[in-house]
């Protein structure tokens, strides 16, 4: 299929003048050729759906089957396609008998009008669906098999769905290109996706690099600072100095997040900062629902620039002007650390990610992990044990990141995502001045005998 057909389709069916990114464009062009299986990994909101929806529409005599984990997600997708006059439908337990019969009749007809058929993994395991699929395949009517939120096949991922594993079977003796999509997944999850969905050896990968070149990473040790709170205060003030720009709307005002391990720490730190004239709020699961909402909104609106929070804070937070993310203690593992600090600098402007590392906090985490490990071992559940062992490994990596740095800070993440090390230039303390980092760590170690 040629490029001009694809560009015309983008405008004609989706009303977009251009692709959202070069990567989206390249993925669409590749998928349209139907020559290879394709793996797409881009962050949420980057327009992964279009990578299969546009090709689906352009193959106008065939049907694209999309597996998606939740009915709510499916409904959103189908509704927005229908709003664009694109024939999409969903086969699930919620539709009426008449709807189902009408849909099946169309799918079995010689020239079906349905372009995209959305199916839950549970539905995919039913006899009705298997027969339907065999029939469509036999008459060469399947354009693509799409697996959205493909990380659900992996036990290493955060929302494993056993039924997703069966999707691989569908591909047995079936020569239809498979398109697997997920938001940035770690190396292990990616491996699982490729093997479970049996992507062909020559599959193509379209993946956003995990490197965030506008984020500066560093680590400090409160126990060797003369006054850790003063240090924190001046760091916050430096990060927030864009605030002076008067014409900014409130929701664009600079702000930041400080992650603490416990509720008590969030409260203590917030009151400490307030006493030092830095307006702060705390946020944790122990607050009343309305308080939590109020606090989050006050921060979101830009009335209070700093929120001291447990890691429960951040899901669904969509604020572009987060200038800093501080871990007051120690992050949990590379994946969480990446996700939490990733909330900084969404607007692309320089932003700072700092750990104020302390051993006491580290010991507390180790204590909990050891307990969990003991429980998991005596509980006898292999999966649970693996999970905890994994958590221990992840934690060791962040401790090493803090206590014995030996390379660019961003490499913690590129390793986790299975990518080559980025060209950091001076986006971390190590690359900026490794001698100073070494000296600081040495001093920390002499001051913190076990």
Binding to ligand ADP by residue 98, rule CB under 6 A? no
Binding to ligand ADP by residue 52, rule CB under 6 A? no
CB of 11 to ligand ADP, least distance (A): 10
CB of 150 to Mg ion, least distance (A): 10
Q: Which residues contact 125 (CB under 8 A, 6 or more apart)?
A: 163, 166
Question: What does 321 interact with, of ligand ADP, Zn ion, Mg ion, none (CB < 5 to 8 A by kind)?
Answer: none
Binding to ligand ADP by residue 348, rule CB under 6 A? no
- The site map against ligand ADP for 12-31 (x = CB under 6 A) is ----x--xx-----------
Residues near Zn ion (CB under 5 A): 408, 424, 428, 431
C-beta of residue 37 within 8 angstroms of C-beta of residue 201: no
Residue whose CB is less far from Zn ion, 130 or 426: 426
Report how far residue 136's alpha carbon sits from residue 142's, in angstroms, rounded to the nearest whole number. 6
Question: Residue from 46, 64, 120, 190 that binds ligand ADP (CB under 6 A)?
Answer: 46
Question: What does 428 interact with, of Zn ion, ligand ADP, Mg ion, none (CB < 5 to 8 A by kind)?
Answer: Zn ion
Question: What does 50 interact with, of Mg ion, Zn ion, ligand ADP, none (CB < 5 to 8 A by kind)?
Answer: ligand ADP
Both tokens assigned to 345: 């600098």
Report how far residue 70's alpha carbon sits from residue 49's, in angstroms, rounded to the nearest whole number. 15
Sheet holding 204-207, edge to edge: 88-91, 116-119, 63-67, 142-147, 178-182, 38-41, 204-207
C-beta of residue 448 within 8 angstroms of C-beta of residue 359: yes
Residue whose CB is less far from Zn ion, 388 or 424: 424
Tokens 């959103």 label which residue? 76
- The site map against Mg ion for 30-59 (x = CB under 5 A) is ------------------x-----------
Residue whose CB is less far from Zn ion, 263 or 432: 432
Residue whose CB is less far from Zn ion, 321 or 427: 427
Q: Which residues contact 15 (CB under 8 A, 6 or more apart)?
A: 84
DSSP 183: S
Residue whose CB is less far from ligand ADP, 57 or 362: 57
CB of 433 to Zn ion, least distance (A): 11
Question: Residue from 34, 47, 137, 403 that binds ligand ADP (CB under 6 A)?
Answer: 47
Residue nearest to ligand ADP (CB): 47
Question: What does 408 interact with, of ligand ADP, Mg ion, Zn ion, none (CB < 5 to 8 A by kind)?
Answer: Zn ion
Report how far residue 432's alpha carbon sits from residue 365's, in angstroms, rounded to the nearest whole number. 30
DSSP 118: E
Q: What is the DSSP string of 371-431?
A: HHHHHHHHHT-HHHHHHHHHHHHHHHHHHHHHHS--S-TTHHHHHHTT-PPP--TTSBHHH
Binding to ligand ADP by residue 75, rule CB under 6 A? no
Q: What are phi and psi of 350, to 5 degrees?
A: -55, 135
Question: What does 431 interact with, of Mg ion, Zn ion, ligand ADP, none (CB < 5 to 8 A by kind)?
Answer: Zn ion
CB of 434 to Zn ion, least distance (A): 9
Residue whose CB is less far from ligand ADP, 28 or 143: 28
Residue whose CB is less far from Mg ion, 70 or 205: 70
Using the contact rule CB under 6 A, the part of the chain among 38-46, 239-247, 252-260, 273-281 near ligand ADP is 38-46
User: Distance between terminal CA atoms of the chain?
Assistant: 65
Distances (CA, A) of 387 to 159, 309, 391, 447: 13, 25, 6, 34
Residues 256-285 that bind Mg ion (CB under 5 A): none
Binding to ligand ADP by residue 414, rule CB under 6 A? no
Residue whose CB is less far from ligand ADP, 147 or 424: 147
DSSP 285: T
Q: Give the count of residues interacting with Mg ion (CB under 5 A).
A: 1
C-beta of residue 212 within 8 angstroms of C-beta of residue 352: no
How many other CB atoms are found less than 10 A from the CB of residue 105? 10
Interface residue list for ligand ADP (CB under 6 A): 16, 19-20, 42, 44-50
- Positions in the binding site for Mg ion (CB under 5 A): 48
């Amino acid at each position: 299929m040629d490029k001009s057909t694809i560009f015309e389709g983008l405008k004609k069916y989706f009303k977009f003048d251009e692709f959202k990114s070069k990567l989206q464009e390249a993925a669409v062009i590749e998928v349209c050729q139907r020559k290879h299986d394709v793996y797409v990994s881009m962050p949420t909101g980057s327009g992964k759906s279009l990578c299969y929806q546009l090709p689906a529409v352009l193959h106008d005599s065939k049907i694209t089957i999309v597996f998606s984990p939740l009915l709510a997600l499916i409904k959103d997708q189908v509704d927005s396609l229908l709003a664009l006059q694109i024939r999409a439908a969903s086969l699930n337990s919620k539709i009426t008998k008449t709807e189902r019969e009408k849909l099946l009749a169309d799918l079995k007809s010689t020239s079906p009008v349905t372009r995209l058929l959305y199916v839950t993994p549970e539905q995919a395991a039913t006899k009705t669906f298997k027969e339907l699929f065999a029939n469509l395949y036999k008459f060469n009517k399947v354009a693509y098999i799409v697996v959205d939120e493909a990380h659900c096949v992996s036990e290493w991922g955060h929302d494993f769905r056993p039924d997703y594993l069966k999707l691989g079977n569908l591909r047995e003796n079936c020569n239809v290109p498979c398109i697997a999509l997920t938001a940035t997944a770690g190396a292990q999850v990616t491996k699982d996706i490729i093997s479970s969905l049996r992507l062909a050896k020559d599959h193509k990968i379209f993946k956003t690099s995990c490197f965030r070149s506008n984020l500066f990473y560093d680590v400090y040790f409160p126990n060797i600072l003369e006054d850790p709170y003063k240090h924190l205060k001046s760091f916050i003030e430096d990060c927030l100095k864009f605030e002076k720009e008067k014409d900014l709307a409130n929701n664009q005002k600079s702000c930041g997040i400080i992650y603490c391990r416990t509720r008590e720490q969030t409260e203590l730190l917030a009151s400490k900062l307030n006493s030092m004239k830095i307006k702060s709020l705390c946020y944790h699961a122990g607050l009343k629902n309305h308080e939590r909402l109020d606090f989050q909104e006050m921060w979101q609106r830009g009335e209070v620039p700093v929120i001291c929070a447990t890691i429960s804070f951040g899901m669904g937070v969509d604020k572009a002007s987060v200038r800093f993310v501080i871990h007051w203690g120690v992050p949990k593992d590379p994946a969480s650390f990446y996700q939490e600090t990733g909330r900084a600098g969404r607007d692309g402007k320089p932003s700072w990610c700092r750990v104020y590392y302390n051993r006491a906090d580290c010991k507390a985490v180790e204590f909990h992990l050891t307990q969990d490990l003991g429980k998991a071992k005596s509980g006898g559940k292999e999966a649970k044990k693996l999970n905890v062992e994994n958590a221990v490994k992840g934690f060791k990596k962040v401790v090493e990141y803090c206590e014995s740095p030996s390379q660019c800070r961003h490499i913690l993440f590129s390793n986790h995502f299975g990518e080559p090390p980025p060209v950091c230039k001076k986006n971390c303390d190590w690359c900026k001045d490794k001698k100073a980092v070494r000296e600081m760590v040495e001093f920390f170690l002499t001051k913190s005998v076990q």
